[in-house]
């Protein structure tokens, strides 16, 4: 199921090992404030869990170097969707015209 994302919050984890095998996390929410996605960012050498979906929440794992690009998409794109297919989480915009601008 594809879910439109309306809000998000960001967490950063200290210490050499981070938390839960990740360095930072972005949590995504739908229009009713329900958590619908958890994006975990892992440093090189950290063990990635497989992407999964449980009870309507998509759990994605990405390399830490993608954090800034994901935050940029969250800040600048609308609408934005999350879904799980083919054993992977997907964060997606809709089809947009070229040169639309901000």
Is the pLDDT at 101 greater than 70? The verdict is no
pLDDT over 70 at 95, yes or no: yes
CA angle 30, 33, 91 (to 5 degrees): 30
Residues 6+ apart with CB under 8 A from 27: 8, 9, 11, 35, 37, 38, 39
- What pLDDT, in 10s, does the model give residues 34-50? 999 999 999 998 888 99
DSSP 67: H
pLDDT at 1: 83
Is 87 a residue whose pLDDT tops 90? yes
Report the run of H or E that residue 68 belongs to, with start and end. Answer: helix 67-76
**Nearest-angstrom CA–CA distance, 84 and 8:** 18
């Amino acid at each position: 199921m594809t879910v439109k994302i309306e809000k998000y919050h960001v967490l950063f984890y200290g210490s050499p090992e981070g938390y839960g095998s990740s360095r930072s996390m972005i949590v995504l929410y739908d229009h009713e404030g329900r958590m619908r996605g958890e994006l975990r960012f892992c440093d090189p050498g950290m063990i990635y869990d497989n992407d999964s979906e449980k009870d309507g929440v998509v759990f994605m794992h990405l390399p830490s170097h993608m954090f800034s690009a994901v935050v940029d998409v969250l800040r600048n794109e609308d609408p934005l969707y999350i879904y799980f297919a083919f054993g992977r989480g997907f964060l997606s915009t809709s089809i947009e015209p070229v040169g639309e601008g901000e």
